[in-house]
Amino acid sequence: MDGFSYVNIFDTKGIEYIIIIAFLLLIIPFWMLLNRPLKVRAGIRNAFSSISSSLLSVPQGVFFSNNHTWAHMLRSGNARIGIDNLLINLTGDVSVRMVRNPGSTVRKGDVISEIEREGKKLTIAAPVSGEITGINQALLSDPSMLQEDPYGKGWICSIKPTDWMTDISGFHIAEGANSWLGKELDRIRDFLAVTTNKYNPESQAVYMQDGGELAEYPLASMPKEAWDDFQAEFLK
């Protein structure tokens, strides 16, 4: 055809184009691999939002510490101590073991008990200082009380505080407790996303049910190392 000339680009820059195409074929799967953990994290975070808001409801007169224990002052002057509903809904069924006996004196932050599931443990710290005056023996025999009634029958022990007002300063109560638990829920979403990717990035299905909702008790299926990380992050 007059005025038209055909140029085969592969005759002039064939090597360069082949290199570019090969580069793209290599870089695209690599990019998808790097991007996958972000999608896994987003999926877990979105699924975890399905946790019922009922977990964030708190009874009146209960003070919540930042390490997920609570304290409730009785008329006797003793304070009942327990762990919050959010923590129990992460671990599921656990056994409870006291590491302090009645008559022991503890300081705020001392370990008073352990909860355990399949060899994985979390330690529970005293939210207030004082003397341990009682242990909930019924709970030790039937730990399901933690899930059934965490702020009632599921109390762990009682402590006669030595400096109640000082110890509970900075604790959360009523609407403030609801707000704090909501923020903790967001932190835990992020923790689960990061931890899942850290220890087993291929195990998203373990923590997700059909329909994309988070399986019950997400910590229960995670390895001991994840429980240790949770202890350091949330139960200091």
Which residues, including other chains, have CB under 8 Å from residue 206's CB and lie 6 or more apart? 200, 215, 221
Considering only residues 90 and 3, tell me which one the structure prediction assigns the higher pLDDT.
90
Range(s) of the domain holding residue 169: 59-173
What pLDDT, on a 0 to 100 scale, did the predictor assign at position 45?
A: 46
CA angle 101, 104, 106 (to 5 degrees): 115
For residues 19 and 107, membership in a common domain is answered with no
**Range scoring the smallest mean pLDDT among 47-56, 90-99, 121-130, 162-171:** 47-56
**Range scoring the smallest mean pLDDT among 14-28, 35-49, 134-148, 207-221:** 35-49
| Residues 176-199 pLDDT 10s | 999 999 899 889 888 988 998 888
pTM of the predicted model, to two decimals?
0.76
Residues 49 and 218 sit within 8 Å (Cβ to Cβ): no
Closest CA to 216 of 68, 91, 95: 91
- pLDDT band of residue 211 (cuts 50, 70, 90) is very low
Q: What is the mean pLDDT of residues 203-227?
A: 68
Report residue 45 CA to chain centroid gap.
Answer: 12
Q: What is the mean pLDDT of the chain?
A: 82
Q: What is the mean pLDDT of residues 153-164?
A: 98
Q: Is 168 helix (H, G, I), strand (E, B) or coil?
A: helix
Task: Answer yes or no: is pLDDT of 35 > 80.
Answer: no
- pLDDT band of residue 216 (cuts 50, 70, 90) is confident
- Percentage of the chain modeled with pLDDT above 70: 70
CA distances from 170 to 92, 95, 159, 214, 223 (A): 28, 30, 19, 32, 33
Which residues, including other chains, have CB under 8 Å from residue 186's CB and lie 6 or more apart? none
Count of domains for the chain = 2
Pairing status of strand 95-98 against strand 120-125: unpaired
For residues 89 and 30, membership in a common domain is answered with no
Task: Answer yes or no: is pLDDT of 14 > 50.
Answer: yes
Residues 226 and 91 sit within 8 Å (Cβ to Cβ): no
Considering only residues 22 and 156, tell me which one the structure prediction assigns the higher pLDDT.
156
For residues 200 and 164, membership in a common domain is answered with no
Residues 40 and 115 sit within 8 Å (Cβ to Cβ): no
What pLDDT, on a 0 to 100 scale, did the predictor assign at position 213?
A: 43
**Residue 215 amino acid letter:** A
What pLDDT, on a 0 to 100 scale, did the predictor assign at position 197?
A: 86
What pLDDT, on a 0 to 100 scale, did the predictor assign at position 54?
A: 56
Considering only residues 209 and 139, tell me which one the structure prediction assigns the higher pLDDT.
139
CATH of the domain at 143: 2.40.50.100
- 2 lies in some domain: no
For residues 72 and 89, membership in a common domain is answered with yes
Beta-carbon count within 10 A of 89 CB:
18
- Percentage of the chain modeled with pLDDT above 90: 58
Which residue blocks in the chain are alpha helix, DSSP H? 9-48, 85-91, 137-141, 145-148, 164-168, 175-199, 204-207, 224-234
For residues 89 and 138, membership in a common domain is answered with yes
User: Which residue has 């039937």 as its token pair?
Assistant: 142
User: For the purposes of burial, counting CB atoms within 10 Å of the CB of 131, is it exposed (0-12), middle (13-18) or buried (19 or more)?
Assistant: middle
- 4 lies in some domain: no
Q: Is 63 helix (H, G, I), strand (E, B) or coil?
A: strand
For residues 66 and 169, membership in a common domain is answered with yes
- 160 lies in some domain: yes
